[in-house]
Structure 1
Amino acid sequence: MRRSNECFAYGRAIPSRRQIMPLLEDLKEYAERATGLRRPGKRRASELPRPRKPHVVRFRDDGLVPNHPRWPLMLYRSAVRLDEQHDPAAVLEDLFEGNGWGDSWRDGIYDYVHYHSRIHEVLGIARGKGRVRFGGNKGRTFTLKAGDVVVLPAGTGHQCLAADKDSLVVGAYPSAGTYDECTTVEDRPRALKTIPKVPVPRKDPAYGGAGPLKKLWKRPK
C-alpha cells in the first residue's frame, strides 16, 4: 500500500508520543471504517467545506528542490468545518476520498526537507497547529491550523519546523501517480523529468470538479 508516513523521526530507543500516536490513529481509523462511527461518509463530507479562494504560491527551483515548473501550491484557510460529532481525521479522509484522492494516512509532516517527484499530495490539518515551510530552504513558512487544506503539486518541497504535540495531519494522493520521496541533489535529474509528467487530477481534493484546481493547474497548449 502506498503510504507516506510523514511523521517526525527522532530515532529514540523508547517510542515517543509522536511515534506512538500514528499507531493509535491507525487503530482508530480501522475501528471507524469497520463500524462507521464518527465518520460522516463521502456525501456528508462533501457538504462540509466552506467557500474559499485558495492562497496561491509559486516556488522557483532552489537548486535542491525543483518545485513545480508551472503549477502553484494552493492553501485553503479554514476550509473544512470540523465538529465534535465526527472525527476530524475521518472528515478529511472521506472528503478527499470522495474527490478521488486516496491512500490516506494520519500522522505528522517530516521535519526535514523532502518532495515527491511522481505524485501530487494534499495535506489536511485535522487537529492542532504547526509551522510548515514549503518550497525548500528558500521557500515560505506558513502556520497551519485545524481545518486548513494544502494542495501540493509534484516537486513541492515541504518540511515541518514546529508543531503542537497533539497535532494531526491527514495526507492523501490522486489515483494517477506513484509515491516516492526525494531528499538529495542526486534525486534531481530524475525528478526534473518526472515532475512535469504527473497528470492533472480529475478533481480538487476539497472542492471536487468545480474547485479551483483545474483552472490553476493547466497543461500547456
Structure 2
Amino acid sequence: MSIVRDYAEPLAIVFEDDGLVPNNVLPFLVYQGAVTLDPKQPERTIENLFETNGWGGTWRNGVYDYLHYHATVHEVLGVARGHARVRFGGDHGQELEIKAGDVAILPAGTGHQCIKANDDFCVIGAYPPGSKMQVTRPTPESHAKALKTIPNVARPPADPVTGKHGALMRLWRS
C-alpha cells in the first residue's frame, strides 16, 4: 500500500526577493494531505518516505519562531503531528496552515517562520544528498552572500514525496 495519495499535486508559489529574504526563482511547493500517516508511528512514516526518495539528514522538531532561511540547501518539511500557521517567503510572503500529512518543499533561500503551532506539532525535516544546512537570518550582509550561494545549490535528484518522476522534477526544471 502506498503512503502517498495518488492525486498528490503540489501547490506551487514563487516568492519574490524582498531585499532581506532572497527566496528563489524555483517555486516553493506544498503537498496538502499527500501522506497517509501510520497513526502509531507518523514520524517514521515521513522519515521512511524521505529516505526512500534520497533525502537524508532527517530531524524531528518544529519550525523556528523567528524568520530564517537556508542559502546553501533545499529543505523539505513533512508534518507528522498537529498543525501550525507558518509564514513562508519572508515578511512579505504568505501564511499557510500546515497539518499532519502535509509536506512543504523549500528551495534554497525561502524564508520561513512559525507564527503559531499547537502543542503536539512535529515536523520531519530533510535535505538532498551532499547538502550542508546552515540557518541564516535576514540581514543585508547575509542577503548579499545568499545571492551568490543560492544559484549554486544543486537540484535534488528526486522529489522527496513522489520520487524521480515527481512534480518537483517537472516544476524545478531549468
Q: Which amino acid aligns with 1:158?
A: H
Match of 2:61 among 89, 107, 124: 107
In the aligned structure 2, how far is the partner of 1:194 from the partner of 1:176? 15
Of residues 177-186 and 91-100 in structure 1, the stretch that sits farther from structure 2 once superposed is 177-186
Instruction: Report which of the two has the higher share of strand.
Output: 2
Q: Which amino acid aligns with 1:61?
A: D
Match of 1:82 among 4, 24, 37: 37
Match of 1:73 among 28, 32, 47: 28
Give the unaligned 5+ runs of structure 1.
1-43
Once the two structures are TM-superposed, the CA of residue 187 in structure 1 deviates from its matched residue by: 0.7
Aligned residues: 172
Contact 1:176 1:201 in 2 (8 A): no
Deviations 1:185-213 (A, max 9, x none): 12111100110110110000000011011
Once the two structures are TM-superposed, the CA of residue 177 in structure 1 deviates from its matched residue by: 2.2
Once the two structures are TM-superposed, the CA of residue 83 in structure 1 deviates from its matched residue by: 3.0
Deviations 1:5-48 (A, max 9, x none): xxxxxxxxxxxxxxxxxxxxxxxxxxxxxxxxxxxxxxx7xx21
- RMSD over equivalenced CA pairs, Å: 1.0
Give the unaligned 5+ runs of structure 2.
none
- Higher alpha-carbon Rg: 1
Higher relative contact order (CA 8 A, sep 6+): 2
Query: Structure 1 segments of 4 or more deviating over 3 A?
Result: none
In the aligned structure 2, how far is the partner of 1:218 from the partner of 1:193? 20
Contact 2:76 2:105 in 1 (8 A): yes
Alignment TM-score, normalising by the size of structure 1: 0.76
Q: Does 1:94 align with 2:48?
A: yes
Contact 1:122 1:172 in 2 (8 A): yes
Provide the residue aligned with 2:160 in structure 1: 205
In the aligned structure 1, how far is the partner of 2:12 from the partner of 2:161? 15
Q: Does 1:122 align with 2:51?
A: no
Instruction: Report which of the two has the higher share of helix.
Output: 1
Alignment TM-score, normalising by the size of structure 2: 0.96
Contact 2:38 2:45 in 1 (8 A): no
In the aligned structure 2, how far is the partner of 1:214 from the partner of 1:162? 31
Secondary structure of 2:115's aligned partner: strand
Alignment of 1:132-143 (within 5 A): 132-143=86-97
Alignment of 1:1-221 (within 5 A): 47-51=2-6, 52-68=8-24, 70-84=25-39, 86-185=40-139, 186-219=141-174
Secondary structure of 1:213's aligned partner: helix
